[in-house]
Structure formats: structure tokens, C-alpha cells
Amino acid sequence: MVDLVVIGASWGGLRALRAVLAPLTPDFPAPILIVQHRSDEESALAELLARTCALTVREAEDKDRLQAGTVLLAPHGYHLLVEGDEAILSVDDPVRFSRPSIDVLLESAAEHGDRAVGVVLTGANADGAAGLAAIRRRGGIAIVQDPQSAERPQMPRAALAAVPDAQVRPLEQIGPELMRICAPSTARPGAA
């Protein structure tokens, strides 16, 4: 059973994240953690995303308990990691110029083994590739936005180079795919 969704986005991420979150219903059964690269301290991102999605969206606080149907965003200037059912923040050095770093979040999520889903969206760098590979190595599910449908294709391409067997999906199919993966009862009626 999948119990964690982690998503990384960079350039063009706001539009992409909105598209991914919009189809998710309020009873979405897993918590979602997001790293979106941001250049300034504006904390409006949570509000912007909340406006177009049915889930609760807010910036993570240290040791926040993960909750199904709640989206936690990495705050500006902090790495976001997951440990068990808690969100952890750190001010460790930027990783490849980024803090928050997508790799850092995804690598921590890899500890969830086959219960984790990692998603890499649009971006103009290679952040997330190593993290997605870690998730895959530990048996988790890897989804990459089809570079063709990405505002910037570099990040999805790098992720695909690192995880050749990742599922490649056009943007509008990622949300429905998450619904299908995370809510097995609707996908497999009658399953225990």
C-alpha cells in the first residue's frame, strides 16, 4: 500500500503542480510532500496551490505529522525530509545549489521502500534524478512528466536517464495516475 507521495518541480512548477493536484479528491489516501524551487521568500505558493485543489496545502513545519490528503510544501530556505510519519526540516548546505533540494526529499522518501511514489516534473536542471533513482532502487514507484509536455524538459529528461523504467506521463495524466495507485480499493474492488 502506497502511503507517501513526494513531488519535485522547478521551472514552470506552479502550473504543473496545479495540474497534478487538481484531479485529487479530498479523500486522497496518502500525504503529499512537495519541493518546488523558489527564488525568493514569497510564501504565497501554498495559497496559490490551495486555490485550485481540494486538498489542504500548507508549508511544512518541523516534525509535522504526515496526514492523508494534506500537502506539505518545503519552506523557502529549508530542506524538507520525511522520517517515518513526520516531516523534518534542515538548513544543511544547499545540494547542487538548491535548498530545498528535490534529491534530499526523494532520498529520504526512499526509506519508505515500496510504499513511496516519487514524481519529477518540469525543470531546467537535474535535481530529483538521484532521488528518484533511490526511490526506485528501494522498490518505490517512479513517475516522470513527459518531457514533451514540460515547460522545461531538462529535469524530466535527467530523471529518465537515471530511472529508465520510470512511468512517463503527460502532465494531465499524472493526477489520475496518483489516484489510481494510491487508492487501490477503487482500482481493485473487493481487494482486502
Catalytic positions, please?
10, 37, 127
Say if CB 93 and CB 112 are below 8 A apart: no
Q: Which of residues 41-60 bind other proteins (CB under 8 A)?
A: 59-60
DSSP 93: P
- Selected from 47, 61, 114, 172, the binder of other proteins by CB under 8 A is 61
Count of H helices and E strands in the chain? Answer: 7, 9
- Selected from 39, 40, 44, 91, the binder of other proteins by CB under 8 A is 91
Closest residue by Cα to residue 119 from 97, 138, 137, 136:
136
* Interaction of residue 75 with other proteins, rule CB under 8 A: yes
Q: Which of residues 129-188 bind other proteins (CB under 8 A)?
A: none
C-alpha cell at 149: 509536455
- The Cα–Cα gap between 48 and 9 comes to 15
- Selected from 63, 96, 137, 180, the binder of other proteins by CB under 8 A is 63
Positions in the binding site for other proteins (CB under 8 A):
59-63, 75, 78-79, 81-84, 86, 88-93, 104, 107-108, 111
